[in-house]
Each structure stands twice: as structure tokens, then as C-alpha cells.
Amino acid sequence: MGSKKRFLAVIFLMGFMVFIILTTRGLDFYQQKTAPISTKKQSQIKDVLRKHSDALRSTKQQRLRQDLLRRNCAAVNLSLEDLNSTNLNNFIVDDKHGIIYCYIPKVACTNWKRTLIALNYSKPYPDPMSFKHSWVHNSVRFKLLKDFPLAERKAKLNHYTKFLFVRDPFVRLISAYRDKMQNYDQYFYEGYVRVILQLYKNQTNLSVSHEVAKKRGLQPSFYNFIQYILDPRTERKAPFEPHWRQMNRLCHPCLVEYDFVGHQETLQEDAQELLKMLNLEDDIKFPPSYENMTSVDSVMDWFQSVPLEDRRKLYKLYEKDFQLFGYRRPSELLDD
């Protein structure tokens, strides 16, 4: 009987010790779990949540942009066979990464060209900004889709990642005017500025040198530029110059099914998302954009000199761009 009691006492003591150990460790575990999160940890968690939220928002935005294109292009009864080589001047091919980029002048195309040139070097890729502006545009490094045989063209369009970047059509026009009508070189002076000055300012005996013309302060007004675009003779003579040609005429979004549609207005976010989509976000950085000198808010000021009827005609010319790429109709410029 005594030995039985001693046995029970030992069992009880062991059980009590196990209880104490479990309770203590449980309390330590609980305290660890409920301990305040450090500021650094909180920041890391917020950063992860923000990136996840940004990714979801960007994915949704891309889906909306592509759905908009599909809806607006539903009635277009054309196929890739309708794209001849003359329609493919702006399609750059990167066979190394399986990319096709349709560039649109005045929509960050210089920096995208810089990025594509950098990607064709070996890793680590050079900084895209190390390539000078003039060299980028005069470079023969680019392969153009138009130079491939038809069968190969179609294969690349079907299998490569295709992207373009677009911009509010009227803001793009203002940017083209600032760059090519105010800050013209010999090419734009000879082919466009002189013509506009003669037609709409009745100026004669103009110098053949753009440098002389600049010294004299000669330049078309913004309204003169719009008059030139609206003049039926302009289109009859030749297609619009690419800097003010409609974006849909450059990149044919109803014939080419783009995998990514970027906007100038969200350039940095869209560029980062595209590089991530291409598995290049850790290898190269898209150049930072400078402050946009032609903001949407300033459009009204630019169009003050343009009569209402001409604004409406201009909108009709670019209406398809507004609709295809989701830019709102500028009612403040077009309605009485």
C-alpha cells in the first residue's frame, strides 16, 4: 500500500512538472506571437501589400485597355495579311527577347529605343541613358518588322510580346508643335515650317536656312500648325508626318493584338509593369521621365487661338485615337 502511494506521488510530481514546463513555454510562445511588430517589419509588410495592390490595379488596368480595343475593333474586318510593309515602318523587332515594339513619336519613344538598344548588349546591360538622343534615332541597330518575309512577319506577330505606348491625342499634337515647329531643324524647316509660313502667314522670300530663320524669330503659330493639319491638301500630298500622324495609323491596334498598352500619363508605372512581364525588371531600369511640359491642364490655353469649328474638325480627325485608347472627349474645347 505504501509503495502504491509513493508511486502515485511520483506520477503526480512528474505531471505537475510537465504542466509547469508546458505552461511556461506556452507563455513564452504566446508572448513571442503577440510581441509588438518592429517599425522596420511594419514597413516591409506595408511595402509588400502596396506592391501587391499596385500589381492587381495594373493588371486590371491592362485588361480594361485591351477590352476597350477589342470592343472598338469588333467591326473591323481585316487580318494580318492586310498589313503590307509600308504600314510597318514603326515596328521594331527584338529577336533576342521576343519583343515587338510599335513606337509612336512624342510618346517616350526615344527612351524605349534606348532601352531596346541596351538589351541587345550582354549582361549587365548598360544604362539606357548612356546612348545619346541623336545616335539613338540615327542608329541602324534596329530590325524592322517590314524587312522580314511575310510568313516570318506573321509568325513573329503571333508569338512575340507586342507593346505600344500612347498619349492623349491633343497633348501629343501640342508636344509635336513645340518640338518640330518651334525648335525645328533643317529637315522640318524645309519640309513643313516654310510651307506653313507661306500658306497661312503669306510670307515670301524666306531663307533656305533654318538657322537664319530662327535668328529672325520665324515660326508658325499653333493655329497655323492646326490649319496645316486640317487643310485637305496636306493629306492629299502625302500621309501625315509621323509626329502628328494618328496613333492608330502608325500601330494598327485593330490588326495587331497587343499584349501590353502603356500610357504616357502613367509611363513609369507602366514601364515597370512591362519589364516585369518580360522578366527583365531586375536586369534593366527604364529611364526616369522628365516633368511633362505639355500637361493636360494646359491644353485649354494652347487651344484659345483655335476657333471652335476648327477644334471640332481636329477632334474628328483624331477621334479614333481618343476612342481606341480610352481618352475622354475634351468637351470643354468642343462644346459651346
- Is residue 68 in a domain? yes
pLDDT of 298-336, one tens digit each?
899 999 999 999 999 999 999 999 999 999 999 999 998
- Is residue 19 in a domain? no
Burial of 38 (0-12, 13-18, 19+ CB in 10 A): exposed
- Is residue 287 in a domain? yes
Q: SS3 of 92, please?
A: strand
pLDDT of 200-241, one tens digit each?
999 999 999 999 999 999 999 999 999 999 999 999 999 999
- Is residue 60 in a domain? yes
Burial of 36 (0-12, 13-18, 19+ CB in 10 A): exposed
Q: Which positions ≥6 away from 206 have C-beta within 8 Å?
A: 194, 197, 198, 213, 218
Domain count, the chain: 1
- Is residue 183 in a domain? yes
The length of the chain in residues reads 336
- Is residue 290 in a domain? yes
The model's pTM is: 0.82
Q: Is the pLDDT confidence value at 92 over 90? A: yes
- Is residue 4 in a domain? no
Rounded mean pLDDT of 257-286? 96
- Is residue 97 in a domain? yes
**What is the side-by-side order of every strand in the sheet holding 161-166?**
143-144, 91-94, 99-102, 161-166, 260-263
Instruction: Give the helix ranges, DSSP H, for the chain.
Output: 2-34, 39-73, 109-119, 133-138, 150-159, 169-176, 186-188, 194-200, 210-215, 222-230, 232-237, 247-251, 267-277, 299-302, 308-324, 331-334
Percent of the chain, pLDDT > 90?
A: 71
pLDDT of 25-50, one tens digit each?
554 444 444 455 666 655 554 554 54
Domain span including residue 184: 56-333
C-alpha cell at 224: 497655323
Rounded mean pLDDT of 262-278? 96
What residues does 152 pair with on adjacent strands? none
pLDDT of 146-192, one tens digit each?
999 989 999 999 999 999 999 999 999 999 999 999 999 999 999 99
